[in-house]
Structure 1
Amino acid sequence: MSEPMSNENKGAIAQFLAAPPDSVGKTLFVAISVCLVASMIVSTAAVSLRPTQEANKLRDKQVNILQVAGLYDPASDVTEAFAAFEPQVLDLESGEFTDAFDAATFDDLAAADDPELSRALEDDPASIGRQARFRTVYLLRDDAGELDKVILPLHGYGLWSTLYGFIAIEENGNDIFGLQFYSHAETPGLGAEVDNPRWKQQWNGKRLHDDAGTLQITVSKSAPAAGADFHVDGLAGATLTTRGVDNLVKFWMGEEGYALFLDKLQAGEF
């Protein structure tokens, strides 16, 4: 049998119940109770919605890869269409694929925070701090099984944010099919014009390297000496975003990024 409530406790509870509704004690009690209930609801919703959020995140990534490869059809099933791609984890230091990781689950961005899988950058034009030594790339083959395009992830800092995107390279390792960003926080109407279809269309048919093998692709207001084949017009009124895109593309297409892999593509090794 439980012990009877002490007179002291009876007095405290009675005083609380007898207090007016707008008393400090009751106000604090209601506020704390509402906070606790709300936090429980939010936590429960976050846990229950996580699988849906992850599924939406994966679908968005697949849509962006399909779009940059020119294969996206809103009327088609995204998962079925994406099955045409062959994901591979690329070792940037060797330019070769590795089977040390599962390409379906490897998290490139998380790897950049792992000291064993990444390196700190001294020369960091893309302003990313650390670079993962491994990246997931996506191969697209034609009906005959021959390589058609390669989709490479890239990212770098613009004016206000890090821009995350993909670039599609033709099988020759030099011609660009397309580029687009799927996440950024650049200024609407200015830097955010990286999402403008007319601006993105400029990338189609541009080249990375000249005949001598020198990286020439440039995003700027004026064409470089190398010529129009290597030039994408900068964004009007968004000088720093333009510079950021120029820096990140040159970084990832250069020696610190996919250069070895692109060399192997040009040699027909894949």
Structure 2
Amino acid sequence: MSKSNDTMGKTLGVVIGLCLVCSLVVSGAAVSLKPLQKLNKERDTQRYVLEAAGLLDQANGDVPATFERYIDARVVEYDTGDFLPQIDPRSYDLAMVARDPASSAKPVNDVASIGRRAHYGVVYLVNNEAGELDTVILPVHGYGLWSTMYAFLALAPDMNTIKSLVYYDQGETPGLGAEVVNPRWKAQWAGKKLFDETGELAISVVKGGAPAGDIHGVDGLSGATLTSNGVNNSLEYWLGEEGFAAFIDKIRQGELNNG
């Protein structure tokens, strides 16, 4: 009986030892890989920003250098539209900040189902070869059918003319809602206008297709009404008072040099 207990004790000891060793290996790998994961995430963001700006082909594989040359990332306060130069956009983790009640709040009108909105966001100012503002890129996100969909909305300096809408993270149904990444659908956004003559938000993904010549309409995604609604809701929220409305007004008034 004692021999049996000794054997069981040794077996348990070996199992526990192996578990501890495996835990240490996994933890060590996670810690050592974290900087690489952070770098890869940063590179992905840069690549999609360049795509939204129409500069990805120009990068010729050197995304970081092209991003550094043309893109000025800035942290902005949503409520005031002011730049916050004291915050480094490279180290500002928007997702983490939005989860912290001390640095975020629940939206008053959460039409995009984002849950919480951070007090500050990151915008991307794209300069041309002469150093003049050419494009402003706003991050937008909202819930579709199955997932929160993340995109970059690129606007001309008039803050009304759309240059592109690039979805870079979504989990919608392949062949249906996931068509938000289809180049043919994405191409429809170029040249559309956000606001009508009265200043009201008028851009819309239209179920059944936008009328010919409609400067505010983009064809809906066939068989994906909820995803299309999610796109509309995302734009409604982030271009509204709780989103980038104050920042858009600042740019229109020529107040870019406030930080």
For the criterion TM > 0.5, the same-fold answer is yes
Q: Distance in 1 between matches of 2:249 and 2:215?
A: 19
Residue 167 of structure 2 contacts residue 181 of structure 2 at CA under 8 Å; is this kept in 1?
yes
Q: Distance in 1 between matches of 2:87 and 2:218?
A: 35
2:200 aligned to 214, 218, 234, which one? Answer: 214
1:67 aligned to 43, 51, 64, which one? Answer: 51
Equivalent position of 1:80 in the other structure:
65
Q: Distance in 1 between matches of 2:26 and 2:179?
A: 35
Q: Which amino acid aligns with 1:82?
A: F
Q: Distance in 2 between matches of 1:192 and 1:33?
A: 46
1:145 aligned to 131, 151, 156, which one? Answer: 131
Deviation per CA, 1:117-155, whole angstroms, max 9, x where unpaired? 222123110001111121111101122222100111111
- The yes-or-no answer on 1:90 pairing with 2:68 is no
Residue 174 of structure 1 contacts residue 262 of structure 1 at CA under 8 Å; is this kept in 2?
no
Residue 220 of structure 1 contacts residue 243 of structure 1 at CA under 8 Å; is this kept in 2?
no
Shift of 1:216: 0.1
Q: Which amino acid aligns with 1:67?
A: E
Equivalent position of 2:146 in the other structure:
160
Q: Could you say what the CA RMSD is over the residues aligned between the two structures, in angstroms? A: 2.3
Taking only the aligned residue pairs, the percentage that are identical comes to 49
- TM-score normalised by structure 1 residue count: 0.85
Question: Matched residue pairs, number?
Answer: 254
- TM-score normalised by structure 2 residue count: 0.89
Segments ≥4 residues shifted beyond 4 Å: 24-34, 222-225
Change in Cα spacing, 1:194 to 1:27, as seen in structure 2 (3 Å) is: farther
Q: Which amino acid aligns with 2:63?
A: V
- The yes-or-no answer on 1:188 pairing with 2:174 is yes
Q: Which amino acid aligns with 2:155?
A: I
Q: Any stretches of 5+ residues in structure 1 without a counterpart? A: 1-10
Shift of 1:60: 0.5
Q: Any stretches of 5+ residues in structure 2 without a counterpart? A: none
Residue 177 of structure 1 contacts residue 204 of structure 1 at CA under 8 Å; is this kept in 2?
yes
Equivalent position of 1:36 in the other structure:
20
Equivalent position of 1:5 in the other structure:
none
Q: Which amino acid aligns with 1:63?
A: R
Q: Which amino acid aligns with 1:178?
A: S
Residue 107 of structure 2 contacts residue 242 of structure 2 at CA under 8 Å; is this kept in 1?
no
Equivalent position of 2:38 in the other structure:
54
Q: Distance in 1 between matches of 2:106 and 2:243?
A: 14
Residue 138 of structure 2 contacts residue 153 of structure 2 at CA under 8 Å; is this kept in 1?
yes
Q: Distance in 2 between matches of 1:234 and 1:59?
A: 31
Equivalent position of 1:6 in the other structure:
none
